[in-house]
Amino acid sequence: MSDRVYIFDTTLRDGEQSPGCSMNVPEKIRMARKLVELGVDILEAGFPIASQGDFEAVDAISREFPWAQVAALGRACTMDVERAAQSLRHARRPRIHTFIATSDIHLKYKLKKSRQQVLEEAVAAVELARRYVDDVEFSAEDGARTDPDYLEEISKAVVAAGARTVNIPDTVGYSVPYEYAGLIGRIVKALGDCAIVSVHCHDDLGLATANSIAAVEAGARQIECTINGIGERAGNCALEEVVMLFKTRQDRLPYDTGIRTEHLYSASQMLASMISFGPQPNKAIVGRNAFAHEAGIHQDGYLKEKTTYEIMDPHTVGVPESKLVLGKHSGRHALKKRTEDLGYDLGKEELQVLYERFTALADNTKGLLDEEIVALIEEGQMAMKVAAD
């Protein structure tokens, strides 16, 4: 079995649909550019039937990044699948991602459908999607709480109907690693080489990353995740965590992703600048304190030999070297250096625009956070574009 794990980013769909995270179409395009730069394998750009904005975002991202593998979500019904297909018509590598709930709880209370009905609708949706695109993913919503025999039956049926990827979400973040790994291992065995098994874990009990990793060890080869772990309720598995786990613990987890990790911090900051919250200070990998050493004993050890307290080099995730606070006394040089550390290569004029905005804001604050600097850069670039049009 290959050691390559595909990173399916759903920041712009599952992430964006959660409270405080909505983004408009230009913001989604900017974020998509960063995700492409980061090297995600599949970029889920929206749920086109849910809103006109989602439809336009999928359409715009497909046009802007024709070679990216762009996915659009739809429930397992004609209306949704056709809308997803329409939104992807300019994508060169489109994926339709269709889903229906499979657990008895969801069938009884939400869908009021029998298992047979759900199976037939899933198969019909996959068959319809295959008329539009070659690359179809099926998700068994609440898969982790679904009867394993039925989950295996429906997984085989959708693959026979043409699905290439079968996703088994832990929709409510209920599973524990060894349990989830057992379920995933069973589906991997049942599908063999006919499809890739994917995982999509929510973080309600703080186990999204652990569950995703356990699933990979059981044979899953796609992880669905988001920048900063944003998503419904407690969020989704955080992209930066699984990627850095593989990179840091190759001895125990010998898997590869195509992620260019040096862009992780800037992706995190860019997202934070667009939505209403950033990662918590102690968030793994991208939090403000993730590489800060405060305690005397720690500082002493760190100064003698970094590896005493640092398991990852901050440069590998693109954390700026300098922890200098940028405030009203900071000059152009320091500002330029920080923009470079944040992944921007600004021209003279762009830097001037940024500097003017920066000094105006810095006059009234104690210092600007990286995410605020990213927001200033993006706003400045937008203003210059509008002026030029």
Which whole-number Å values give the CA distances from 341 to 39, 78, 264, 288, 317, in the listed order? 19, 47, 12, 15, 11
Burial class (CB in 10 A: 0-12, 13-18, 19+), 331: exposed
The answer to the question of residue 241 lying near Zn ion (CB under 5 A) is no
- The nearer residue to Zn ion, 17 or 330, going by C-beta atoms, is 17
List of long-range contacts for 152-155, beta carbons under 8 Å, 24+ apart = 152/186, 152/187, 152/190, 153/119, 154/102, 154/118, 154/119, 154/122, 155/187, 155/190, 155/191, 155/195
The answer to the question of residue 44 lying near Zn ion (CB under 5 A) is no
The answer to the question of residue 146 lying near ligand KIV (CB under 6 A) is no
Task: Enter the tokens of residue 200.
Answer: 């999509």
The answer to the question of residue 14 lying near ligand KIV (CB under 6 A) is yes
Q: How many residues lie near Zn ion (CB under 5 A)? A: 1
Contact 24, 51 (CB under 8 A): no
Stretch that binds Zn ion, among 8-16, 137-145, 208-216, 274-282 (CB under 5 A): 8-16
- The nearer residue to ligand KIV, 14 or 121, going by C-beta atoms, is 14
Smallest gap from Cβ 150 to ligand KIV, in A, equals 16
The answer to the question of residue 339 lying near ligand KIV (CB under 6 A) is no
- The nearer residue to ligand KIV, 5 or 208, going by C-beta atoms, is 208
Binding mask of the shown chain, residues 285 to 324, with x at each position contacting ligand KIV by CB under 6 A: ----------------------------------------
- The nearer residue to ligand KIV, 28 or 338, going by C-beta atoms, is 28
Burial class (CB in 10 A: 0-12, 13-18, 19+), 336: middle
Stretch that binds ligand KIV, among 110-118, 166-174, 176-184, 365-373 (CB under 6 A): 166-174
Length of the chain in terms of residues written: 389
3-state secondary structure 52-69: HHHHHHHHHHHHHCCCCE
Task: Enter the tokens of residue 303.
Answer: 């100064």
3-state secondary structure 9-78: ECHHHHHCCCCCCCCCHHHHHHHHHHHHHHCCCEEEEECCCCCHHHHHHHHHHHHHCCCCEEEEEEECCH
Picked from Zn ion, ligand KIV, none, the partner binding residue 339 (CB below 5 to 8 A depending on kind) is none
Picked from ligand KIV, Zn ion, none, the partner binding residue 180 (CB below 5 to 8 A depending on kind) is none
Would you list the DSSP string of 241-253? HHHHHHHHTTTT-
- The nearer residue to Zn ion, 155 or 330, going by C-beta atoms, is 155
Dist CA 279 CA 373 (whole Å): 16
The answer to the question of residue 141 lying near ligand KIV (CB under 6 A) is yes
Contact 106, 133 (CB under 8 A): no
Contact 197, 187 (CB under 8 A): yes
Binding residue (CB under 6 A) for ligand KIV from 171, 273, 330, 339? 171
267: nearest Cα among 227, 225, 319, 314: 227
Q: What is the CA radius of gyration of the chain?
A: 22
The answer to the question of residue 11 lying near ligand KIV (CB under 6 A) is no
- The nearer residue to ligand KIV, 16 or 341, going by C-beta atoms, is 16
The answer to the question of residue 200 lying near ligand KIV (CB under 6 A) is yes
Residues 13-42 that bind Zn ion (CB under 5 A): 14
The answer to the question of residue 27 lying near ligand KIV (CB under 6 A) is no
- The nearer residue to ligand KIV, 208 or 374, going by C-beta atoms, is 208
Stretch that binds Zn ion, among 6-14, 58-66, 145-153, 323-331 (CB under 5 A): 6-14
- The nearer residue to ligand KIV, 167 or 273, going by C-beta atoms, is 167
- The nearer residue to Zn ion, 236 or 339, going by C-beta atoms, is 236
Residue nearest to Zn ion as judged by C-beta position: 14
The answer to the question of residue 8 lying near ligand KIV (CB under 6 A) is no
| Rounded (10°) angle between helices 239-248 and 264-274 | 170
Binding residue (CB under 6 A) for ligand KIV from 15, 169, 279, 320? 169
- Number of Cβ within 10 Å of residue 7's Cβ equals 21
Contact set with ligand KIV (CB under 6 A): 14, 99, 139, 141, 167, 169, 171, 200, 202
